[in-house]
Amino acid sequence: MQTYDEILARIRATLVELFELPAQSVRPEARLLEDLEIDSIDVVDLMEHVRRHTGRKVTATDFRSVRTVDDLVNVVQRLLSS
């Protein structure tokens, strides 16, 4: 079982890798669209990445309510513990 902070760290690394964002901009309260410029098209790539790395089935429904990095961490945590 990974802690919130471990998952946040992995997500930070992922976002830095996929979107070439500066690591310090990936804070829990950062909004994906407004602050990080990650739109619904990018979320498709993000979902694929999560699917590959967690080996879990990831659907659009899981990500529908994701607005912030914090939401993202919670979704991944839920996926990992299911």
Partner 1 sequence: MSCGKDLIRIVVAEPEIIARAAAAEAKGLRSDAFYWRFVATALSFAVFGCSALLLSLTVLPLLRLLPRERCQRYSRIVLQRGMRAFIGVMYGLGTLTYEFQGTQRLGRAGQLIVANHPSLIDVIFLIAFTPQADCIVKQAMFRNLLTRSVVRGAGYIGNGQAVDMIEGAAATLRSGQCLIMFPEGTRTRPGQPLTLHRGAANVAVRAASIVTPVYIRCVPTTLTKSEPWYRIPLRRPHFSLQVGEDFELGAFHDMASIPVASRAFNECLRARFEGELQRLNGYTPGQPAVARPA
Binding site for partner 1 (CB under 8 A): 17-20, 38-45, 47, 60
Half-sphere exposure (Cβ direction) of 28: Cα atoms closer than 13 Å: 10
Least distance from partner 1 to the Cβ atom of residue 3, Å: 26
Is the separation of the CB atoms in 66 and 5 below 8 Å?
no
Least distance from partner 1 to the Cβ atom of residue 1, Å: 28
- CB-wise, 44 or 55, nearer to partner 1? 44
- CB-wise, 5 or 13, nearer to partner 1? 13
- Among residues 34, 41, 29, the alpha carbon closest in space to that of 71 is found at 29
Amino acid at residue number 81: S
